[in-house]
Amino acid sequence: MGVMRQLAVLLTVVVVITTFTTRSEGALPTNILEKVLMVNKKGPFLGLVVPNSFEMSPLLQSSKFVRSKRLPCLDFGGRRFRFGRVEKEKVIIVMTGLSMLNAGISTQLLLTLFDVKGVVHFGVAGNANPDLQIGDVTIPKYWAHTGLWNWQRFGDGPNAELSFESSGDYTRTIGHLNFSDFDINKNDKNFGNSLNSVWYQPEEVFPVSGVPEVRERAFWVSVDHHYFALSEKLEGMKLTRCINSTTCLKRIPVVKRVEGGCSANVFVDNAEYSQFLRSKFNVTPIDMESAAVALICLQQQVPFIAVRALSDLAGGGSSKSNEASVFGSLAAQNAVDAVTQFISLLA
Ligand SMILES: *[C@@H]1O[C@H](CO)[C@@H](O)[C@H](O)[C@H]1NC(C)=O
Ligand SMILES: *[C@@H]1O[C@H](CO)[C@@H](O)[C@H](O)[C@H]1NC(C)=O
């Protein structure tokens, strides 16, 4: 090799090292990257995604969760990724924080950083299904984000095209809510409102297998078929009925697989709206995160399932208090019990 050639090789090596070093000290610092690589050597993992600490605590306190001794957790992007095992399954637990944006960000970070073979999302939810009660654990087959709307202008009826409908941005195929249907003095001509209707919209999704920037659409997102089939074995499992020696649910809670669940950036504590969601979309759990986790898993093509225990009646039931305050912790415990049971079925 000539001297010039050797110099050129050396220069290339220097440039490559400099570029790599600069990059790894950017958004993903070298010390984090090293730990991520170390963790991934032990993968693949099952990702456990949970909204809030009161929903996560029963899992962290469960004897079924064994923390990793070498590296119990890694903090990145304002999130804490906890490593360990549930039964024979290696898991990474991440708490998202409230609502769709936090759930989406945390799930995307989990799937971007770590070698994750599947995601189990769990927590509590409002209940729109009169056949079920607080404490029951639901596993829907489909999830929808019901918070993406086109709010129609006043005066336009059901046959009027929506703004940007012709360009393919919005659609009238999914359905709408007309605010005047909820007027209390519906039959009095002097009453009414000018809110007209909101039309539910599918999400734009960009699957990893698709063409970047070419949108696809998703309203109902299916959970993983294998996970859903497996979850049938949870129906009939034993769940907790009482919070103490005197306060118990009317009957022993059950695990039930249901058709649909929905999520939006809305805490639904309103009977009319939860009944509307049930009649329109046949949903049982109503929450603020599951559909976001589902949409990320759909796009990243990672198997997904959500387990949500019913903690209140989404505005139905007693008008004095939301039942979540009394039975919320029991519901959170039941969700965790169902999740750990599900994980043992996976192994
Ligand atoms: C909503 O209700 C108003 C008042 O009854 C009616 O004029 C309008 O056509 C309705 N819109 C839709 C989309 O059904
Ligand atoms: C059981 O819990 C309920 C609701 O929190 C409470 O009102 C009641 O005092 C508790 N009973 C006992 C025996 O701790």
Q: State the DSSP string of 225-236.
A: HHHHHHHGGGTT
Phi, psi of 341, rounded to the nearest 5 degrees? -65, -40
> For the segment 172-221, what is each residue's pLDDT rounded down to a tens digit?
999 999 999 999 987 887 788 999 999 999 999 999 999 999 999 999 99
The pLDDT assigned to 15 comes to 47
- DSSP 8-state symbol, 153: P
> By CB neighbour count within 10 A (0-12 exposed, 13-18 middle, 19+ buried), where does 123 fall?
buried
> For the segment 26-62, what is each residue's pLDDT rounded down to a tens digit?
589 999 999 999 999 999 999 999 999 999 999 999 9
> For the segment 282-328, what is each residue's pLDDT rounded down to a tens digit?
999 999 999 999 999 999 999 999 999 999 877 776 555 556 788 99
8 A C-beta contact, residue 262 and residue 283: yes
pLDDT band at residue 23 using 50, 70 and 90 as cut-offs: very low
List 94's β-bridge partners, or say none: 49, 81
Q: Cα-Cα-Cα-Cα dihedral of 317, 318, 322, 324, to 10°? A: -60
The pLDDT assigned to 1 comes to 46
- CA gap 307, 257 in Å, rounded: 9
The pLDDT assigned to 320 comes to 52
What whole-number percentage of the chain has pLDDT above 90?
A: 84
Cβ neighbours of residue 151 under 8 Å, at least 6 residues apart? Answer: 196, 197, 198, 199
Q: Is the pLDDT of residue 11 over 70?
A: no
Q: Cα-Cα-Cα-Cα dihedral of 221, 225, 231, 233, to 10°? A: 150
Whether residue 197 has its Cβ less than 6 Å from ligand 1: yes
Cβ neighbours of residue 64 under 8 Å, at least 6 residues apart? Answer: 86, 87, 340
Q: Which of 171, 187, 197, 199 to mutate to test the pocket of ligand 1 (most atoms within 8 A of CB)?
A: 197
The pLDDT assigned to 315 comes to 75
8 A C-beta contact, residue 302 and residue 118: yes
Does the 42-148+202-346 domain belong in CATH 3.40.50.1580? yes
- CA gap 106, 286 in Å, rounded: 20
- CA gap 112, 132 in Å, rounded: 37
Model's pTM, two decimal places?
Answer: 0.91
Nearest-ligand number for the alpha carbon of 326:
2
Q: Which of 241, 247, 248 to mutate to test the pocket of ligand 2 (most atoms within 8 A of CB)?
A: 247
pLDDT band at residue 6 using 50, 70 and 90 as cut-offs: low
8 A C-beta contact, residue 85 and residue 45: no
What does the buried/exposed string (b/e) look like for 165-178 if buried means 16 or more CB atoms within 10 Å of the residue's CB? eeeeebebebebbe
What tokens appear for 87 in the block? 């039964």
The pLDDT assigned to 76 comes to 96
The pLDDT assigned to 24 comes to 43
Closest C-alpha to ligand 2, atom 3: 247
> For the segment 108-125, what is each residue's pLDDT rounded down to a tens digit?
999 999 999 999 999 999
| Sequence ranges of the domains in the chain | 42-148+202-346
Average pLDDT, the chain: 92
Nearest-ligand number for the alpha carbon of 321:
2
Helix ranges (DSSP H) in the chain: 3-24, 30-41, 53-61, 99-113, 225-231, 271-281, 290-300, 324-346
> For the segment 222-245, what is each residue's pLDDT rounded down to a tens digit?
999 999 999 999 999 999 999 999
Query: How many Å lie between the centroid of ligand 1 and the Cα of residue 178?
Result: 6
